[in-house]
Amino acid sequence: MRSFDTVRRVVVKIGTNVLSRGDEMDTDYIDDIGRQVHGLRSRGYEVVLVTSGAIGMGARELGLAEKVTNVQMRQACAAIGQPLLMHAYKQAFQAHGVTVAQVLLTSEVLNNRRSYLNLRNAIESLLSLAVVPIVNENDSVSTAEIGSSFGDNDRLSALVASKLDAELLIMLTDIEGLYDRDPRREDGARLISEVETITPEIERSAAGAGSAHATGGMRTKLKAARLAAAAGCRTVLVHGREQSVLERVITGETIGTVFGAQARMKNRLRWLRNSEPQGRIVVDDGALQAIRRRNSLLVSGIRGVEGVFPSGAVVMVNDAAKVVTNLDSAQLQAVAGKKSGEVRQILGVEYSGIVARPEDTVFLDA
């Protein structure tokens, strides 16, 4: 069983092929994505979508059956298709009372620190407003010819995941995951459920090339997973048409291929898990359940404080989890069980009722 207990922010990438049925954009599928993303958010996850499909939708609108390769034509198709794509998403999410926002990117935006920070602020604001940002490349202005293209949305999704500090990238595609051989050409190919590190050998075994209107292939997906991994983000590559796929991935079902992450997140959690606790915070059941669902530990749920420790110390929560506490033991004693507003009155305006955030929390059974 996989565990995504430490995940808070998820980037979901949806490929052109998975969005289409025959020659048409499958709006029923987009509706179902609305339902599924709403489901993830109800479980407490922040979700950013990266979607392809603008060029494909534009091409269909113009009645073009063949893959569009001409640069100007791709730009035109993207400009035509992007609003159609957003319209489909808007309707799908509206059914669940969720507002969506369009974010169009060029690689220049991410490469320039000022514009990147600006973008990051905009996305953080959208997320704090409970809006789902829907990202695509700004294909009508960014082209490889002027060096501002991401190349494909696989890469774009990995960059978005890493720049936004997402802990999980879910790539919905039209293949079940990574196979040891190309399943479309060879019999007996086996699905690889878990890849800890993407080695050159694994990259070699992956078949390349996208099809129809999409640009990615398995190779670009592996590259994307490697990019995400370097930023501490795990990737799950999975067939987007699996029933309730997002929920099944997030609850740890063994579908698709999960790619491990390097360093950052893992190291921090390992450090936290291995640290000797300097005290103990006793919380009620509600608070324990809340932090299991990756919410912050709040003072309101505290029933007792054991030991003397400074702020920043690692302490136990009951016997279930370890956290890095924002407040020292005396402060915790003073505000245990109080509401957040009262905390400011007792400790001062710079204090909120947050004792530990999800990224500073690890469950010992996780």
Contacts of 87 (CB under 8 A, 6+ apart): none
Of 6, 20, 36, 52, the one binding ligand GLU by CB under 6 A: 52
Token pair for 364 = 């010992």
Q: In the set 34, 216, 279, 353, which binds ligand GLU (CB under 6 A)?
A: 216
Whether residue 225 contacts residue 194, with contact meaning beta carbons closer than 8 Å, is answered with no
Which of these ranges, 22-30, 36-44, 212-220, 328-336, lies near ligand GLU under the rule CB under 6 A?
Answer: 212-220
DSSP one-letter code for 81: H
Least distance to ligand GLU from the beta carbon of 116, Å?
A: 19
16 binding ligand GLU? (CB under 6 A): yes
Residue 52 or 326: the one with the smaller Cβ distance to ligand GLU is: 52
**Residue 331 sits in the site that holds ligand GLU (CB under 6 A):** no
* Contact stretch for ligand GLU (CB under 6 A) within 47-55, 62-70, 124-132, 228-236: 47-55
Distances (CA, A) of 294 to 8, 45, 46, 194, 343: 7, 8, 11, 24, 22
Q: Counting contacts by CB under 6 A, is residue 152 touching ligand GLU?
A: yes
Q: Exactly one of 106, 153, 235, 329 binds ligand GLU (CB under 6 A); which one?
A: 153
Q: Give the separation between CA 235 and CA 215, rounded to whole angstroms.
A: 19
By C-beta, is 153 or 326 nearer to ligand GLU? Answer: 153
Q: Does 53 bind ligand GLU (CB under 6 A)?
A: yes
Residues 6 or more apart whose CB falls under 8 angstroms from that of 48 comprise 9, 10, 11, 12, 123, 127, 132, 133, 135, 160, 164, 166
Binding-site member from 32, 137, 167, 360 for ligand GLU (CB under 6 A): 137
Comparing CB distances to ligand GLU, the nearer of 104 and 195 is: 104
Return the closest-CA partner of residue 229 out of 151, 152, 167, 173: 167
Q: What is the largest CA-CA distance in the chain?
A: 72
Compute and round to an integer the Cα radius of gyration of the chain. 22
**Binding of ligand GLU by 215 (CB under 6 A):** yes
List residues near ligand GLU by CB under 6 A: 16, 52-56, 78, 136-137, 139, 152-153, 214-216
